[in-house]
């Protein structure tokens, strides 16, 4: 279990998937009907908290055994809040972690290009 906490102190409780670790960054949305599987590995989303908001995620197969609605976060409410307040930082806090111990961070201030780029050229 984990909680998404926005910088306005809104909380969204749910179940995590993927890495079960605390995370903090800008909360962004992917609204496409297709391409959401690719978004999970797209370097342009590096470090961001990605919210998939199309209502029928799973139409063409996300390789996972759980249904997306099993994760418990109301993405409609989250989307409305972001639409009203604009860009917001957020943090995912795992159960048992003190939320105060994890400060909000904006990865846009980091050199993300170095994190997602090859350090040595590759010939394909």
Summarize pLDDT for 35-56 with one digit per residue, the tens: 777 888 888 888 888 887 776 6
Q: What is the per-residue pLDDT for 62?
A: 54
Report how far residue 19's alpha carbon sits from residue 105's, in angstroms, rounded to the nearest whole number.
18
pLDDT band at 68 (very low <50, low <70, confident <90, very high): very low
The CATH T-level fold of domain 2-116 is Glucose Oxidase; domain 1 (3.50.30)
Percent share of the chain, pLDDT over 70:
87
Using only C-alpha atoms, what is the Rg of the chain? 15
Q: What is the pTM of this model?
A: 0.74
pLDDT higher at 64 or 40: 40
Pairing of strands 23-30, 49-52: parallel
b/e map of 30-68 (b: 16 or more CB within 10 Å)?
Answer: beeeeebbeeeeeeebebbbbbbebeebeeeeeeeeeeb
């Amino acid at each position: 279990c984990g909680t998404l906490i926005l910088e306005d102190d809104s909380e969204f409780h749910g179940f995590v998937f993927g890495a079960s670790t605390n995370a903090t960054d800008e909360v962004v949305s992917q609204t496409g009907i297709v391409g959401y599987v690719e978004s999970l590995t797209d370097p342009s989303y590096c470090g961001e908290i990605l919210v998939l908001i199309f209502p029928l995620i799973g139409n063409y197969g996300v390789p996972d055994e759980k249904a997306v609605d099993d994760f418990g976060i109301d993405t409609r409410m989250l989307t409305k809040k972001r639409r009203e307040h604009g860009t917001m930082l957020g943090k995912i806090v795992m159960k048992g972690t003190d939320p105060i111990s994890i400060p909000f961070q904006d990865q846009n201030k980091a050199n993300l290009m170095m994190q997602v780029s090859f350090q040595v050229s590759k010939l394909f």
